[in-house]
Amino acid sequence: MRQQTFLACHDDVGHMDAKKTLYKLQQRYWWPKMRKYCKTYVRSCHKCQIVNRRTANAYGFLQLLPIPTTPWEIVSSDHVICLPLTKAGNTNMFVQIDHATRYVIATPSASLATSTVTDALYRNIILRYGPPSMYI
């Protein structure tokens, strides 16, 4: 019975979001935990997932990064993954870039674990140049 009700109040009327579907349901029906059931139904609706309707708040505007005044003040990092396997067993590269000089430090790694990132940050940046004020 509930399945047919949802078909009528969600699927047949254009796959509205959970709030609107609940409003539509509440005009005619009531059952315990109706809100929770409605949310679960809409979240698990295959068509709604394919359409990929945005349900979160809008993103904010992109912000400009500050211009660094000294080397190693602002450092950004990223992983380059799925590289050919090296003799040492590494398939990834952890790359750190200084924004002031564009100097690059590339560290081969076998995993993408947090310890790889923290170890590279500590050994390559903090021990050599001190802690950056911004690490992206």
- The region of 9-17, 58-66, 93-101, 115-123 touching Zn ion under the rule CB under 5 A is 9-17
- The region of 15-23, 53-61, 95-103, 110-118 touching Zn ion under the rule CB under 5 A is 15-23
DSSP-assigned letter for residue 97? E
Residue ranges in the chain assigned as alpha helix (H): 2-6, 18-26, 34-44, 46-51, 114-120, 127-129
Note whether 18 binds Zn ion by CB under 5 A. Answer: no
Note whether 2 binds Zn ion by CB under 5 A. Answer: no
Q: Which of 19, 119, 135, 2 is nearest to 78 (CA)?
A: 135
Note whether 53 binds Zn ion by CB under 5 A. Answer: no
- How many whole angstroms separate alpha carbon 114 and alpha carbon 128? 20
- How many whole angstroms separate alpha carbon 116 and alpha carbon 92? 11
Residue of the chain from 19, 47, 79, 128 that contacts Zn ion (CB under 5 A): 47
Q: Name the 3-class secondary structure at 102.
A: coil
Note whether 48 binds Zn ion by CB under 5 A. Answer: yes
Note whether 24 binds Zn ion by CB under 5 A. Answer: no
Q: For Zn ion, what does the binding mask look like between residues 112 and 131, x meaning CB under 5 A?
A: --------------------
Q: How far is the CB of 43 from Zn ion (least distance, A)?
A: 9
Question: Between β-strands 104-109 and 74-80, what pairing exists: parallel, antiparallel or unpaired?
Answer: unpaired
Task: Give the residues lining the site for Zn ion (CB under 5 A).
Answer: 15, 45, 47-48
